[in-house]
A and B are shown apart, each in its own frame.
Chain A
């Protein structure tokens, strides 16, 4: 069974540009989560989808971040415009039954 996949693995952009991260959850997992670790900090929750609906977006830092999950399959996280403090590693996770979240390898975002 394929795990959670994320694309790209690395992204380097300049401040003010736009970046879109993609997550493909494990097939059949209705729950999809985004987390991130910015430099020097813990892994922090961003939001949770159940199928295509946002169940909890309490961790989204501001309106520069937009997450979508059209069709309830893969998800995208867009940062527009990117700021220096957005640099970090963005993780996606998925789960079937809420008890166990399976994480992807992460996307390392560097904003210059």
Chain B
């Protein structure tokens, strides 16, 4: 598959439990952050985003937390389901610097078992 050769950290959770995926970003000037989900054979799919003027944002079953002090981003998935199994990427960019270039993290593989 696509991830051959890319040794991803893996998070294994039981169905119904909450999942927390963490990401450390690199650029203190980054002001926009996105979480993507990538299933096998597909491209990254947008999950949720957050701007740097916020520290928390909630979606349907997902919450993103941003800690600018330590340059840390997390994605919380409530009541994890088998369909949540995928590789999750955080991405950052600096829109205020007039660039749309996304800088991706290495990704975390989420495995959900029954």
Interface residues of A (CB under 8 A from B): 4, 31, 33, 35, 37, 39-45, 48, 55-56, 58-59, 89, 91, 93, 95, 98-106, 108
Contacts and interface: CB of A to CB of B under 8 A. Distances in A.
B104 A43 contact: yes
Given A100-B46, A101-B46, A89 B2 contact: yes
Given A42-B106, A43-B89, 8 more contacts: A4-B43, A35-B104, A44-B104, A45-B103, A48-B101, A59-B101, A103-B36, A105-B43
Contact of A45 (B45, B46, B101): B101
30 contacts: A4-B43, A33-B102, A35-B102, A37-B2, A39-B5, A39-B6, A40-B5, A42-B105, A42-B107, A43-B44, A43-B102, A43-B104, A45-B101, A45-B102, A45-B103, A48-B100, A55-B100, A56-B99, A56-B100, A58-B101, A91-B43, A91-B44, A98-B95, A99-B32, A100-B34, A101-B34, A101-B46, A103-B45, A106-B43, A108-B2
Contacts of A105: 41-43
A95 B46 CA distance: 12
Q: How large is the interface on B (under 10, 10 to 19, 20 to 34, 35 or more residues)?
A: 20 to 34
B4 interface: yes
Given A37-B2, A91-B43, A103-B43, A31 B100 contact: yes
The 3 closest A-B pairs by CB, nearest first: A103-B43, A40-B5, A43-B104
Contact of B49 (A43, A55, A99): A99
Interface string B12-55: 00000000000000000000101010000111111001000000
B100 A98 contact: yes
Contacts of B103: 45
A30 to B, nearest CB: 11
- Candidate in B43, B44, B46, B99 with the most chain A CB atoms within 10 angstroms: B43
A71 B2 CA distance: 32
